[in-house]
């Protein structure tokens, strides 16, 4: 049953990213080390593992595809505004939205952790591209608890070229020194490991409810405050990620599975 479930999940994810898998770090308080640590756990037996992960013998760079037509994001709701810089990356994020329970009995956002997969090469295939979030969410939801990031990566370790772009997590806001800010970090991957600017820390510009607001986390527009990966970042086409309406004070933190598309524009990092 385990091998069948793992195969089914891998197959579904291959449909949406052609050569990718899922790596989820289930941590309540993500740190800057999450990107490197997440990559390290994926190396597999004997230092092998997923192509592109530091230390792996295969290595390589993500596929290079023309995404210039993605200058306009489809179905972008107000008050989000269209990007003003060139498209750089389109990523599928697969991970968890994390929450803690407040003394008032309500869940409070405590960041998110996700792995990012390159779906830019599928952008021109409109029929498939539009299905990516649903396909990925169905596979991720159906995955039994026994399927871990390590088992997923071992199952997909022979695939090449790599489609993993990097990791998404939260860190202390580097400008204010307080609170947290979202980070997208590609530096764990071979193609970008020598580029110290291959990350971006962002701040929220605006947000809009997802079409299914009761289930899916909001769509977001963000702007960079540090790093060279992108100038503008958008989170769209979210699936799931919202916590239950209430909780019992003192209950344990939760991680709610989600997927989303992340669109990155501008920046100084070259593909």
Give first-to-last CA distance, the chain, whole Å: 40
Q: What's the average model confidence in pLDDT over 225-244?
A: 98
Q: How confident is the model at residue 95 (pLDDT cuts 50, 70, 90)?
A: confident
Q: Regarding predicted confidence, which is higher, 50 or 236?
A: 236
- pLDDT score of 168: 93
Phi, psi of 216 (to 5 degrees): -105, 140
pLDDT at 142 (0 to 100): 84
Give the closest residue to 266 by CA, choosing from 224, 225, 232. 232
What average pLDDT score do residues 247-252 get? 96
- Quick one: which of 84, 105, 115, 104 has its CA closest to 21? 115
pLDDT (0 to 100) of residue 140: 84
Domain locations in the chain as residue ranges:
2-58+90-265
By percentage, how much of the chain surpasses pLDDT 90? 56
Q: In whole numbers, what is the pLDDT of the chain averaged over residues?
A: 78
Q: pLDDT tens digits for 10-66?
A: 444 554 444 333 333 333 333 334 334 333 322 222 332 222 222 332 335 556 789
126, pLDDT greater than 50:
yes
More confident residue, 56 or 210: 210
Q: What pLDDT does 130 receive?
A: 94
The string of pLDDT tens digits covering residues 137-173 is 998 888 777 664 444 544 443 445 556 788 899 999 9
At residue 120, the 3 state secondary structure works out as helix
Evaluate if residue 201 carries a pLDDT over 70. yes
Q: Beta-carbon neighbour count of residue 110 at 10 Å?
A: 17
Q: Of the candidates 91, 52, 115, 257, which has an alpha carbon nearest to the alpha carbon of residue 44?
A: 52
């Amino acid at each position: 049953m385990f091998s069948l479930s793992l195969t089914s999940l891998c197959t579904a994810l291959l449909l949406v990213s052609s050569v990718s898998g899922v790596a989820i770090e289930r941590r309540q308080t993500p740190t800057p080390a999450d990107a490197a640590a997440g990559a390290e756990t994926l190396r597999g037996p004997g230092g092998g593992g997923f192509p592109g992960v530091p230390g792996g013998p295969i290595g390589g760079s993500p596929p290079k595809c023309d995404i210039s037509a993605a200058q306009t994001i489809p179905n972008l709701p107000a008050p989000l505004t269209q990007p003003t810089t060139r498209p750089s990356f389109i990523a599928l994020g697969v991970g968890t939205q994390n929450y803690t329970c407040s003394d008032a009995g309500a869940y409070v956002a405590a960041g998110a952790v996700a792995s990012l997969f390159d779906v830019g090469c599928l952008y021109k295939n409109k029929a498939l591209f539009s299905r990516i979030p649903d396909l990925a969410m169905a596979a991720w939801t159906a995955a039994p608890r026994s399927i871990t990031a390590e088992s997923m990566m071992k199952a997909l370790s022979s695939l090449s070229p790599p489609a993993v772009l990097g990791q998404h997590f939260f860190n202390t806001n580097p400008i204010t020194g307080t609170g947290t800010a979202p980070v997208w970090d590609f530096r764990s991957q071979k193609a970008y490991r020598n580029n110290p600017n291959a990350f971006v820390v962002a701040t929220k510009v605006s947000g809009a409810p997802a079409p299914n607001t009761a289930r899916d986390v909001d769509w977001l527009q963000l702007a960079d405050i540090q790093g060279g990966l992108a100038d503008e970042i958008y989170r769209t086409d979210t699936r799931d990620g919202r916590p239950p309406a209430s909780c019992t004070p003192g209950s344990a933190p939760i991680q709610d599975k989600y997927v989303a598309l992340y669109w990155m524009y501008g920046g100084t990092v070259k593909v």
